[in-house]
Amino acid sequence: MTHLLSPVTEGKLQPHNRLVLPPMATSKAEPDGGMSDALLAYYDEKSRGGAIGLVITEHCYITRQGMNRVGQPSIADDGTIDGWRRLVGIVRDNGSKVAMQINHAGGACSTAATELEVVSASDIAVPLGRDEACRSLTHAEIDTVVDQFAAAARRVQEAGFDGVEIHAAHGYLLNQFFSPLTNERTDEYGGDVAGRLKMHLEVVEAVRRAVGEEFPILLRLGACDYMEGGISLDDSTIAAVELERAGVDMLDITGGLRGYLRPGHDEPGYFAELTERIKGVVSIPVILTGGVTEPRQAEQLLADGKADLIGVGRAILKDPDWARNAVRELRP
């Protein structure tokens, strides 16, 4: 039986256990997105002792036009690499593997933060509560964003990370392309699942060319919008198969177009209905995050075959010793 402390032996990344620190925005970077002492201290505190198998950083913007907020870390130019090398060194020395999540926030960007035009899959406001006007990306601009993802992934690799995670969830740009609620395009990037997934596949393929065959690529997929007319689990099972075929090495499954939530649910592993189904159609490892507050809850989700790795966010955010205590509790 798989346990939380069991090593991951499948795939390219293979952390020493199945506990994941998921991406959580801290807004601790410098105003220009550069590395800060506060950001280094945060990841040092969370990873100290090596109790977490895999640390995934908060989403880092690949271009200023894709920045979500002031204080969000940047991977938008080569000048950021040295700062990230420092963070990688800290987390590695603490005993954990570390991947960076890269992102373009699209229609979830704020002109107040970027001082640039807000762009998205379509020229409709993303339902995130602020209803900021946005413009549909042109084909040439889509190509540029794909190249920006690839360039960012190359920087991640140069900084020494163990992998790169493409953010395609929580109402950000790739989620905006995949969701029928935010994608009203009539070209090849709209319509059915294949059209709405087209940009994802182009990003994965460009990232793979940039980092080579051996560097692990993760993708955080918003597998259900939990809104009428939005992404369905049927859509995402199709997408998962195609993403694996395109070169994704690990799927980090989540839901909610308006953010990280499943309405009416807060039980341990509340996205398990998504991960269990997707795990059944792919051969790559699947991460489940949401609602886990006790180590035994994570153990049970793994035992029940709901996922291959378990992310614990808020509990570790609240208690920096949570992971170290979990290891002591579960160690035979």
Active site residues: 172
- Residue carrying structure tokens 């035009």: 117
For every residue of 96-162, DSSP letters joined together read -EEEEEEE--GGG--HHHH-S--EESSSS--TTTT----EEPPHHHHHHHHHHHHHHHHHHHHTT-S
- Map residue 89 onto helix, strand or coil: helix
The answer for residues whose C-beta is within 8 angstroms of residue 62's C-beta and 6 or more apart is 75, 76, 102, 103, 104, 145, 148, 149, 151, 152
Between CA 260 and CA 324 the distance in angstroms is 25
Give residue 179's identity as a one-letter amino acid code. S
**Total count of residues recorded for the chain:** 332
Give the containing element (helix H, strand E) for 228. none
DSSP 268: T
Give the E-state strand segments of the chain in sequence order: 19-21, 54-61, 97-103, 119-120, 135-136, 163-168, 217-222, 250-254, 286-289, 309-311
Q: What distance lies between CA 85 and its chain's CA centroid?
A: 20
- Helix orientation angle between 233-246 and 272-279, rounded to the nearest 10 degrees: 50
Report the relative pairing of strands 163-168 and 250-254 from DSSP bridges: unpaired
Q: Tell me the HSE value of 167 on the side-chain side, using a 13 A CA sphere.
A: 31
Q: Which of 29, 119, 125, 23 is nearest to 69 (CA)?
A: 29
How many CB atoms are located within 10 Å of the residue 228 CB? 6
